[in-house]
Every structure is written in C-alpha cells, then in structure tokens.
Chains A and B, each alone.
Chain A
Amino acid sequence: EVQLVESGGGLVQPGRALRLSCVASGFTFSSYRMTWVRRVPGEGLVWVSYINTDVTSTNYADSVKGRFTISRDNAKNMLYLQMNSLRAEDTAVYYCARDSGNGLDIWGQGTMVTVSS
C-alpha cells in the first residue's frame, strides 16, 4: 500500500525546536519531490516547504524561511522537517505529501504541532 506516515508532533514552548518525520512506503520514494503542508486550526491549507528528489533544490514559505529546514534520506525513505524558533502561529497540523507531477497525490494523516507556554 502506498502511504505516508508522519510523526514527531506535540506540545512545545515558544522558541523551542521540534523535528517532524515522515516515512514513505509502497513506492520508490527517491523518485518523487516531497512537500510539507500545514493547516492551522479553523483555517486553510498552507504550503510550508518542498524538496526535490536529490536534495539539490529546496524552498520555503516566507513565514518559515530561516527557521525551518526540510531534508530527506532516500536510503531510509524518510522526509524530515526541522522546526526551530517555533512561534504560536506555527501551531497547526503538518502533512507530508508526495508531488507526483500531477498534483500532491499522496498525503499522510498529519501530525499536530502545538506551540504554547
């Protein structure tokens, strides 16, 4: 079965760090660009970051640039999002998604990140 499973979310204080993980299975992970998208409670979906297949290209939304770092380990079928200097406005459900070239066609179930003191 083709699937993505996120982990690593939780409650964290403002200014602290958290690393999200996403494990892929059922497809050739190294062949796909990957993306992180978040949904703030009560609001809509917002793109966070992407990484291409061989890690030569990444980009971030302005709201997280300089604080978040996306990475991947193709040998382990893993995608990561290192989140530093977290703010209350980073509170959201974070989804990893596969970019097939025809949309974000596979999504994980999401992991909740709550930034609060």
Chain B
Amino acid sequence: QSVLTQPPAASGTPGQRVTISCSGSTSNIGRQTVDWYQQSPGAAPKLLMYGNTQRPSGVPDRFSGSKSGTSVSLAISGLQPEDEADYYCAAWDVSLNGWVFGGGTKLTVL
C-alpha cells in the first residue's frame, strides 16, 4: 500500500491528452512539492517534473504539472508512442522523514 495514491492504469491514442492524478496528505503533498518520474521498460527512472510544475532540461513542454491542496496531476498532451511507460509521483514526507512514492500508473498508448 503506497502512501501516495495513483490510478494503476491510464491510456490514450496518439495526439490525445492524458492526465494522471496523485493524492496524498498534509504530511507530504500538502506541505511539500511533488516530483514525477517516468520509467520505461528495462530502464532506470527518469526525473520528469520537479517542484510540482518544473520540467528538467530536455523534457518536452507536452508534459505539465499542477497541484491543489493534497493532490497533484501530471498532464501529457499530444500523446506519443514513446510516452508509454510507468509514471510515479513522489514527495518528501515530513512525518516519515523520507521520500514517499505513488504506486505508479502504467500509461498505454493505444
């Protein structure tokens, strides 16, 4: 049981917009910023978004983030086949004094 809650799966067709949600509590998302990671099959996780809405260098602007209270969302517009991967939200938890992750959302591009 992950501390952060994500839907286990999402899907879309090429060109569509897909949103992945992540909910937590006041000890993590409610008072800390959230990061998103993308993990393609057989690869290491990659930082996709940090500070709720900031994209690291090299991440296309098709990816965007938002936050409201104890929930965050990752939106992917103009869906592409290479976006098929597992997506994880993560935040520092002040009660646990450690990182907490969502259970991951497997994105399928149909």
B54 lies within 8 A of chain A by Cβ: yes
- Kindly state the separation between the CA atoms of A59 and B103 in the bound complex, as whole angstroms: 21
* Majority secondary structure, A binding face: strand
Stretch at the interface among A11-19, A22-30, A99-107: A99-107
Q: Mark B48-59, 1 if CB is under 8 A from A, else 0.
A: 011100101000
Contacts of B90 in A (CB 8 A): 45, 47, 103-104
Contacts of A46 in B (CB 8 A): 101
Interface centre among A47, A103, A109 (most CB of B within 10 A): A103
CB–CB B100/A47 < 8 A: yes
> B54: nearest residue on chain A (CB-CB)?
A102
CB–CB A44/B104 < 8 A: yes
Q: Which of A43, A104, A110 contacts B47 (CB 8 A)?
A: A104
Contacts of B45 in A (CB 8 A): 37, 45, 95, 97, 104, 107
CB–CB A44/B102 < 8 A: yes
- Kindly state the separation between the CA atoms of A49 and B104 in the bound complex, as whole angstroms: 19
CB–CB B99/A95 < 8 A: no
| A-B pairs under 8 A by CB, number | 64
CB–CB A104/B98 < 8 A: no
Q: Mark B91-110, 1 if CB is under 8 A from A, else 0.
A: 00000011111111000000
Contacts of A88 in B (CB 8 A): none
Query: Known: A59-B97, A102-B51. Contact between A107 and B88, CB under 8 A?
Result: no
Q: How many A residues are at the interface, by size bracket?
A: 20 to 34
Interface centre among B47, B56, B100, B104 (most CB of A within 10 A): B47
B37 lies within 8 A of chain A by Cβ: yes
CB–CB A45/B44 < 8 A: no
A68 lies within 8 A of chain B by Cβ: no
Shortest 6 CB-CB distances between A and B: which pairs?
A: A103-B50, A44-B104, A47-B99, A103-B35, A107-B44, A102-B50
| Listed A/B pairs (20) with beta-carbon separation below 8 Å | A37-B45, A37-B101, A39-B39, A44-B2, A45-B90, A46-B101, A47-B90, A60-B98, A95-B44, A97-B45, A102-B51, A102-B56, A103-B35, A103-B47, A103-B51, A104-B35, A104-B90, A104-B99, A107-B44, A107-B46
